[in-house]
Homo-oligomer: A and B are copies of this chain.
Amino acid sequence: MTGPYLIISADTHAGLPTERYRAFLDRRHHAAFDEFLARQDAMAEARKDLGLQNEEFAEEWFGEHAEELRAGWDAARRDAELDADGVAAEVIFPDADAVSATTAAPFGAGLGMVGADYEPELALAGAAAHNRWLAGLCQDSPERRRGVIVAPIVGDVPGAVREIRRAHADGLRGGIMIPSMWGEGERPYHDRCYDPVWEACAELGLPVHTHVGAAPRHELGTHLGLYVTEVVWWSARPLWFLIWTGVFERFPALRFGVTEAGAWWTGNLLWQMDVAYDREHGTRKLASFGEHMRRRPSEYFDAHCFIGMSTPKRRELAQRYEAGVGNLLWGNDFPHPEGTWPHTRDWLAHAFADIPVDESRAMLGLNAASVYGFDTAALAPVAARIGPTPADLGQDGADTTLWDVPRRTGRHWLTGPDVPAVIGRPL
């Protein structure tokens, strides 16, 4: 109970400086890539118009971290930064630079992709370029890395499945990232046309992810507050599309995760779906939820889903028994400035000081080890060398009894009480 933590970040980012992706792109797309590069300045201006870049902050960030940020694509530098942060292993999503987008994979094949907004052939080509490069990165310290396959599945399902299989054969084992938004006019994720994607991922043991990023910009305009408020919902949306429409019944080995969209909405979502499914008063007048629904929504969630909550707020950790401690995966969002790098050790001490050690071990590493198949024995020496201990997080002697009632209560709608129990420190 007192040994160092095996800390796995279920949310990191890597990507080449954009122009260097050319070497990983099929030659027939080079001309289109030149045009894409020529539009990068206009894209940067558009980002500024959307309020996505605070100039003063950007200057400070790049000034202070110029050298360290090479970790976005340099494996040795990357290991050094992970070591310093106490992180033994990582699950790698695209787009290393979330401040000024200088590491964008070709043709927008990254966090912000929306199915309706890209040209499928180019998006798949850009994704393949990134996936090829990422497979190389993951060959350095392979026990520490799981690379996520970028998979623009909307528009060309067979092409996407081919790329998923190719990238898997190439060594990528971190699952796939699909566009969180299919976009207006494209087929939603309950459509059977996507079954070959779910089938391939179930067969290959690749979890399917959405990652926060996309939102309906044409509706939100340049109102940054709208973007910040809605982006979580759009990222999480495919989760209930899969749960309610029988996808997990058809593909029992499929796993699905929502990354960097927080976990604060999870308890409410499960409560709302379960009480509807149980046909409490408000849904008695409605017809069936479908013969394919054989279990409560929260049971599908527990069996198939996880939340890459990244850097949890204390509010979210306080509500962890509703989401399920075993379903929550911590991440440092390295090297994004909204993450905890390079101060992860301090952040962990702040957030986890009164969280029971066994629960902390689950959320900080063991849950991710299980979802992504990390070899914990192979990682043990790394953890022993760099991992913070419970004492380092201030957990020795911490009073964890505050959590007794919330833990026993769990999902109150299933355990009996008619109100939740989230007990904070008394004012």
Q: Are A52 and B419 in contact (CB under 8 A)?
A: no
| B-contacting 9-mer, from A119-127, A156-164, A263-271 | A263-271
Interface size on A, residues (CB 8 A): 80
Which residues of A (361-416) have their CB < 8 Å from a CB of B?
A: 405, 408-409, 412-413, 415-416
Q: Are A276 and B225 in contact (CB under 8 A)?
A: yes
Q: Are B57 and A284 in contact (CB under 8 A)?
A: yes
Cα–Cα, bound, A391→B367 (Å): 50
Measured CB to CB, the nearest residue on chain B to A279 is B54
Report copies per complex: 2
Q: Are B221 and A338 in contact (CB under 8 A)?
A: no
A48 at the interface (CB under 8 A from B): yes
- Least distance between A100 CB and chain B CB atoms (Å): 10
Q: Are B290 and A338 in contact (CB under 8 A)?
A: no
| B-contacting 9-mer, from A6-14, A73-81, A141-149, A240-248 | A240-248
- Least distance between A419 CB and chain B CB atoms (Å): 4
Q: Are B225 and A297 in contact (CB under 8 A)?
A: yes
A228 at the interface (CB under 8 A from B): yes
Cα–Cα, bound, A408→B319 (Å): 19
Q: Are B245 and A287 in contact (CB under 8 A)?
A: no
Do A54 and B285 form a contact, CB below 8 Å, given A225-B297, A244-B223? yes
- Least distance between A319 CB and chain B CB atoms (Å): 8
Q: Are B272 and A229 in contact (CB under 8 A)?
A: yes
A422 at the interface (CB under 8 A from B): yes
Q: Are B284 and A337 in contact (CB under 8 A)?
A: yes
A165 at the interface (CB under 8 A from B): no
Measured CB to CB, the nearest residue on chain B to A412 is B424
Cα–Cα, bound, A427→B379 (Å): 40
Which residues of A (222-239) have their CB < 8 Å from a CB of B?
A: 223-226, 228-230, 232-233
Q: Are B314 and A190 in contact (CB under 8 A)?
A: no
Apart from A53-B285, A224-B290, A228-B273, what 11 extra A-B contacts exist at CB < 8 Å?
Answer: A51-B287, A51-B290, A54-B284, A55-B287, A224-B289, A225-B290, A264-B272, A315-B413, A409-B427, A421-B423, A422-B423
